[in-house]
Amino acid sequence: GQNIDQPTEMTATEGAIVQINCTYQTSGFNGLFWYQQHAGEAPTFLSYNVLDGLEEKGRFSSFLSRSKGYSYLLLKELQMKDSASYLCAVVGGYQKVTFGIGTKLQVIP
């Protein structure tokens, strides 16, 4: 089976940096996605990692360590509009995609 863990809630200050962690145990691994979901809206794609290391896209970066079953999403220069849930999703064996429960991030002034 597949198990994904991420914190339920986090709070950070506008302009700061926040790191959202995701740990996983899967049978097989074919990549890890991060999605952003604002309240009441559909998830939208943020980043994808399949090899170890850091992927940077503007204010957002994502890191993967396959040997540790660990990923994080780094958000820099936080803005109020970054208040949302961040979903970690792992593609395991047989291309099965499993989502974590999501981390609700609140950005405060």
The two tokens of residue 22 are 């995701």
Stretch that binds another protein, among 11-19, 26-34, 64-72, 73-81 (CB under 8 A): 26-34
Q: Is residue 100 at the binding interface for another protein, with CB under 8 A as the rule?
A: yes
Q: Is residue 54 at the binding interface for another protein, with CB under 8 A as the rule?
A: no
Q: How many residues bind another protein (CB under 8 A)?
A: 23
Q: Which of 10, 31, 60, 76 binds another protein (CB under 8 A)?
A: 31
Distance CA 37, CA 51 (A): 24
Cα–Cα distances in angstroms (integers) from residue 48 to residues 12, 51, 54, 72, 91, in the given order: 24, 9, 10, 11, 10
Closest to 23 in 3D by CA, of 54, 60, 65? 65
Q: Is residue 95 at the binding interface for another protein, with CB under 8 A as the rule?
A: yes
State the minimum distance, in angstroms, from the CB of residue 77 to another protein.
Answer: 23
Element (H, E) at 37: strand 32-37
Q: Which of 18, 24, 35, 84 binds another protein (CB under 8 A)?
A: 35
Name beta bridge partners: 67. none
Residue (95 or 109) nearer to another protein, CB: 95
Stretch that binds another protein, among 9-17, 56-64, 74-82, 85-93 (CB under 8 A): 85-93
Name beta bridge partners: 81. none
